[in-house]
Amino acid sequence: MSIRDELQSTIDTLVQPGKGLLAADESGGTIAKRFKTIGVESTEENRRAWRSLLLSTAGLGEFVSGVILYEETLGQCADDGTPLPELAARHGIVPGIKVDAGKIALAHAPGDEVTEGLDGLAKRLDGYKKQGARFAKWRAVYNVSDMLPSRLAIETNAASLARYAAICQEAGIVPIVEPEVLMDGGHSIERCAEVTEAVLHEVFDALHRHAVTLEHMLLKPSMVVAGKEHARQAPAAEIAAQTVCVLGRTVPAAVAGIFFLSGGQTPEEATANLDAINRTGRRPWPLSFSYGRALQEPPLKAWKGQAANLGAAQQALIKRARLNGAASIGRYDAAQEALAA
């Protein structure tokens, strides 16, 4: 199979109506914070048990087409010895891998950050592919204020995202490009829209310069929302209208799919906003979800680190996956009614 055919095969499997992605790629620090909320220590065994629980959930593949894994998880196995990437694949879920090395302060740009991890990426991708990964993810973050992000931050992160995407495609790995405009702060929804538009314009300009094939990549943007500290939080319909407007101005129709991050929204908010987005007109791309906490928070609370709670945790996960799958085709209300019946 040619690299082009390989990429297209992965895209076809990932982009399916009514399905989205599970982001289970939390770094060591992030998953430790999540575990702390339920009183569980972040040991390698506890992380393995948790991610095994997620990937062994019966029926998950009906609503989730791909899972983004952390490097550690690629080498871990389920209780029966099955490698976790293979366990995902058995459920019809494509394994993927987070490849960036996290963010640092951007020199000469106070308040801005840039993502590291390009050094040795091609070699690492070769190893990840042998472990079963078929797609990858790279996250860039943009802090928002009246002055942030700077032009330097917008341009630097766009160049890194584009170079990462080009390296992935050369390796036969589908790149997910994730420019996250952060919800932290007191900015308005209008300021978020302004920043998101500038960021996405620059990202796609850089992708063009690096000859990235748009049909063989996925975009993972943040929704256009006000900062968490802003006095006015917009309703779902307004978030949807602003988000679709910005995407329409910046994202070429050739892009294979858009999978939103939840970015600090509650599970219920993330689902309702995705549903509203899919009820808004003029959209040439599939619009779905790539959620971490918005999918994992309810099952994590049900699990509490205890093997006896595995069934309850998996039920909580499948419920959120089902509701988000419905929201990705604008049928959230019908799904809620069916679950309540």
Q: Which residues are catalytic?
A: 178, 220
In this structure, the number of other CB atoms found within 10 A of the CB of residue 288 comes to 28
Q: Are 132 and 97 in contact (CB under 8 A)?
A: no
- Give which of 170, 185, 254 is closest to 222, Cα–Cα: 185
Pairing of strands 287-291, 20-24: parallel
In this structure, the number of other CB atoms found within 10 A of the CB of residue 211 comes to 10
Residue at token pair 């871990």:
76
Collect all residues with Cβ–Cβ distance below 8 Å to 209 and sequence separation of at least 6: 162
**Helix H segments across 93-184?**
121-130, 151-170
In degrees, to the nearest 5, what angle opens at C-alpha 56 toward C-alphas 52 and 58? 160
Pairing of strands 218-219, 174-181: parallel
Cα of 79 vs its chain's centroid, Å: 27
Q: Are 253 and 287 in contact (CB under 8 A)?
A: no
For residue 137, the SS3 value is strand
Q: Which amino acid is at 199?
A: V
Q: Are 244 and 283 in contact (CB under 8 A)?
A: yes
